[in-house]
Amino acid sequence: MSRTALILQHGDWGPPGVLAEWCAARKIAFEVHHAQSRAPLPELNGQAFVASLGSPHNPDEEHIDQVAAEVAFIGEAVRRDVPVLGLCFGGQMLAKVLGGTIERAPAPELGWHAVETVDPAVVPAGPWLQWHFDAFTLPPGAEQLAVSDAGVQAFAYGRHLGVQFHPESTIEIVRQWAQADRERLQALGIDDGEALLERGRRHAGEARAAAFELFDAFWERAR
């Protein structure tokens, strides 16, 4: 039985970042699977946890083979009670398999945003890096942990945790998304997406510390 964590990465621009740093600091072995590739997903065999990171897709795009495969995989992880940590797309994915819905956010959350949290020791208020255009509803039976004007920001379900923001990401990682989304941002009247990130540069150190707190709380629940 494996006690290695499995991290599902979606594209070269979405590395595990701070999550990988946390795993190393907590001496948790992990492997990264590039879920956008056509390589089959690893077998579920008692992983310490499965983490699903951000993606340019949303979980309802099951006409994309890799998305459909991950929906089935995360659903099976939940059925087997392998702890799932869902971050942005991964949080939407976890919500979906638990019976929540994915919908267009009333307004995209781009850059640094604080959240209203039920328990700052479990989900710190931030500000957190955000970069999403979709949102999810709270799955039936889940415990809502944080919200914002855009919707649910964090929830727990048993040993599983889903969040809408990006605790794993850094300004340097998200800068690439801002560059790739330049036309999309201009349609929203945003001329400089990178400036949204730099405005919160002072939050970077605190965000990393807050991410460690969030991952620690998840790990305590998962064990």
Catalytically annotated residues: 88, 166, 168
> Measured between alpha carbons, how far is 25 from 35 in angstroms, rounded to an integer?
25
187 phi and psi, to 5 degrees? -65, -20
Instruction: Measure the CA angle with vertex 93, ends 86 and 28; round to 5°.
Output: 25
> Measured between alpha carbons, how far is 174 from 85 in angstroms, rounded to an integer?
20
> Measured between alpha carbons, how far is 68 from 65 in angstroms, rounded to an integer?
5
Q: Name residues whose C-beta falls within 8 Å of residue 43's C-beta, 6 or more positions apart in sequence.
A: none
Q: Which two tokens stand for residue 221?
A: 């629940």
Q: Which two tokens stand for residue 200?
A: 């919160």
- Could you list the beta-strand ranges (E) of 4-150: 5-9, 30-34, 50-52, 84-87, 102-113, 116-117, 128-136, 143-148
Residue matched to tokens 């951000």: 54
DSSP-derived 3-state class of residue 80: coil
